[in-house]
Amino acid sequence: MTYFSFRDFPDNTPIPDDCHGHDGTPDWAALLEWICPDLSPDEAERLAAIAEASGGRPDVASLKRLIEEHARP
C-alpha cells in the first residue's frame, strides 16, 4: 500500500486563492499538489479529472480522501 505525505492542515483550512482559475472555479490539479506535494503533475492532472467529474466542492478532507481512494503509486 502506498502512503502519501499530506500537508498538516486542519480539515477546515481555507483553500488558497491561487488554487482557483481566473473564472473562480477550482484548479483541482493545483489543489491536489498543494495538499500532497508528493503527487507528480501527471498524477495530479489525472486525479483532477476524477474530481471535476464528481462535481464536488474542494476542501482539505475531500482532497485527502480523493488521493487516498484514487491515486496510483
Residue 47 domain-assigned? yes
Residue 50 domain-assigned? yes
Q: Which three cell numbers stand for residue 9?
A: 492542515
How many domains are contained in the chain? 1
17 to 14, 28, 54, 73: CA distances (angstroms): 9, 12, 22, 29
Give pLDDT tens digits along the chain (73 positions). 456 788 888 888 888 888 888 888 889 999 999 999 989 999 999 999 999 998 878 888 899 999 999 888 7
Residue 53 domain-assigned? yes
Residue 66 domain-assigned? yes
Residue 36 domain-assigned? yes
Please list the residues that pair with 26 across neighbouring strands: 20
Angle at 60 between CA 15 and CA 63, to 5 degrees: 110
pLDDT given at position 2: 59
Give this prediction's pTM: 0.83
The CA distance from 2 to 72, in Å, is 8
Residue 13 domain-assigned? no
Residue 24 domain-assigned? yes
Domain extent at residue 39: 18-70
